[in-house]
Chains A and B, each alone.
Chain A
Amino acid sequence: MKNDKKRNFIKGALVAGALLSVTALSATPNSSNLFDYSALGSGAEVRSEILNSEANPFNAFEAKCGEKSAEKKVEGKSTEAKCGEGKCGEGKCGEGDKKAAATKTDAKATDVKATEAKTTEAKCGEGKCGEGEKTDKKSAKAKEEKK
């Protein structure tokens, strides 16, 4: 009965289940402090926080910043991705064996791609291609993230 009354107040679909459950707030790990929140940062920061145990992708990236070849590698990847699927596939050609013998550095480079360039590469979907303004925003964003 009380729950029915409460249900009328609960607009949010997400919290409804948690609030109306029998165990209600006591079962909610977050309920220790109802006023808790934490800004986790951007996607790249959140990923790096979770991925950083073995290799910090930002460090790996920064360490290579001065090396032209490394920078080119990262840029090349995203350029290929934007070109379309064919290039992506070709980029992987012959990597099968190399992967097995991948060095630690390679692993770090992969992480850089995984964290920093995730959304940039995701942007390569055809849907957004050709949207000048959006592309500018994207490249500006990518540049900013690289800094």
Chain B
Amino acid sequence: MLLKTETYKQQSSIAQYCRDGKEVAILNAKPERLPHYRRLVFNVVKDALETTYPISHKYIDSEVWKEIVFNFFSEHKCKDPQVWRMPFEFYEFCKTKNYDEKYDLPFLNNLLYFEWVEVELYMMEDISLPQFLYSDNWLQKRIAVNPEHKIIKLEYPVHMEKPFDTVNKKGDYFLLLYREKETGRIQFTNLSILFTFLLENIVSAEKTLEEIFNDILYIFGINHLEMLQNESFKFLNDLKTRGFVLGVYKK
């Protein structure tokens, strides 16, 4: 429904006032009451961010955190009407503003992303499981996995350590997150680069496990196929008991 120009103007004025606190003339509004609107709206934003990013909120200096949140509140015009998605815009805002450099928090983008991904995955629409079979013969088949998952790469191990302990540990870290079908809980698994490669290829469902093993032998320069198979089967069986690996594709 289109708003009348005047209504739109009034709404925009109060929205702008809520953001930056600069006095505005709003029709029939009592100036002494306006600050309460601003405080209430700000608290919604602040609360949503602190809930989504509890680790960031806890470890980042409270003054810095306050400043970042306030900058976001006053400068960023949220695009998504869904409040739960607002923290993602906060993450993007921080990235755009290079706050990791500005506040000397090299892990910041990783930490915010790591915390956000859980919410995103938890909230994602249900995806129906692929048609699969339970089979003991995995080698010549394509492995089916829980589609409600995400594999992410991080530069700092913020998923395993306190943020400031990760500063000197820049590298390549891989993390599997998946949503348990029964409980809806998000499970986290830290992966080696080899297992990340294995899972990414399994997820793409283009190759049989045997073909993927052959690629791994070549790419990682491994000479022992048997060891590769044993270790990988151990890993995949463990993921099966945890509800990530389902079985093999029917076709």
Task: Note all chain B residues with C-beta closer than 8 A to A36.
Answer: 190, 192, 195
Q: Which residues of A contact B158 (CB under 8 A)?
A: 50
Q: Please, which residues of chain B bring their CB within 8 A of the CB of A11? A: 200-201, 204, 206
Give the contacting residue for B54; candidates A33, A35, A95, A118; CB below 8 A: A118
The proximity string for B residues 177-188 relative to A, scoring 1 for CB distances below 8 Å and 0 otherwise, is: 000000111111
- Do A85 and B83 touch across chains, with their CB atoms under 8 A apart? yes
Chain B contacts for A93, CB-based, 8 A? 39-40, 43
Contact assessment for A50 and B55 in the assembled complex, using a CB-CB cutoff below 8 Å? yes
Is the CB of B162 closer than 8 A to any CB of chain A? yes
Bound-state CA distance A35–B122 (Å) is 28
Instruction: Return B62 CB to nearest CB of chain A, in Å.
Output: 10
> Does any Cβ of A come within 8 Å of B113's Cβ?
no
B200 touches A40 (CB 8 A): no
Instruction: Judge whether A118 and B51 touch: CB under 8 Å.
Output: yes
Nearest-CB distance from B112 to chain A (Å)? 14
Partner of B162, one of A6, A50, A92: A50
B153-204 residues at the A interface, CB under 8 angstroms: 153, 157-162, 169, 171-174, 183-197, 200-201, 204
Chain B hits for A44, CB < 8 A:
185
Which of B4-12, B23-31, B96-104, B212-220 lies at the interface with chain A? B212-220
Q: Is A43 at the interface (CB under 8 A from chain B)?
A: yes
Q: Determine how close the nearest CB of chain B comes to the CB of A101; give it in whole angstroms.
A: 15
Inter-chain contacts of B43 with A (CB < 8 A): 88-89, 91-93, 95
A14-B200, A114-B58 as given contacts; A37 in contact with B189, CB under 8 Å: yes
With A19-B219, A89-B41 as known contacts, state yes or no: A12 contacts B197, CB within 8 Å: yes
B196: contacting residue among A14, A38, A89, A92, CB under 8 A: A14
Chain B residues near A19 (CB, 8 Å)?
A: 193, 197, 219
User: A138 to chain B: closest CB distance in Å?
Assistant: 7
Q: Is the CB of B122 within 8 A of A122?
A: yes
Q: Which residues of A contact B122 (CB under 8 A)?
A: 43, 119, 122-123
Smallest Cβ distance from B102 to chain A, in angstroms? 24
Assess A122 versus B172: contact at CB under 8 Å? Given A11-B204, A13-B200: no
User: Which of B171, B190, B201, B231 meets A35, CB within 8 Å?
Assistant: B231
Number of residues on chain B facing chain A (CB within 8 A): 68
Q: How far is the CA of A145 from the CA of B151 in the complex (A)?
A: 24
The DSSP consensus for interface residues of chain A is helix
How far apart sit A138 and B238, CA to CA, in the bound complex (Å)?
26
Does A127 sit within 8 A of B, measured CB to CB?
A: yes
Residues of A118-147 contacting chain B, CB below 8 A? 118-119, 121-128, 134, 137-138, 140-141, 144-145
Instruction: Indicate which residue in A29, A47, A126, A137 contacts B82 across the interface (CB closer than 8 Å).
Output: A126
Give the distance to chain A from B86, nearest Cβ to Cβ, in Å: 9
Q: Kindly list chain A residues whose C-beta atoms are within 8 Å of the C-beta of B195.
A: 34-37
Inter-subunit contact A122/B52 (CB<8 Å): yes
With a 10 A CB-CB cut-off, give which of A44, A46, A47 has the most chain B CB atoms.
A46
- A70 on interface, CB distance cutoff 8 Å: no
Q: Tell me whether A6 and B184 are in contact (CB under 8 A).
A: no
A90-B40, A145-B185 given. 4 additional CB < 8 A pairs? A11-B206, A13-B200, A28-B193, A31-B193
B residues touching A (Cβ–Cβ < 8 Å)? Answer: 39-41, 43-44, 46-48, 50-52, 54-55, 57-58, 81-85, 118-119, 122-123, 126, 151-153, 157-162, 169, 171-174, 183-197, 200-201, 204, 206, 215, 218-220, 222, 231-232, 235, 238, 242
Report which A residues bind B (CB closer than 8 A).
Answer: 6, 9-15, 17-19, 25, 27-31, 33-44, 46-47, 49-51, 53, 81, 85-86, 88-93, 95, 111, 113-115, 117-119, 121-128, 134, 137-138, 140-141, 144-145
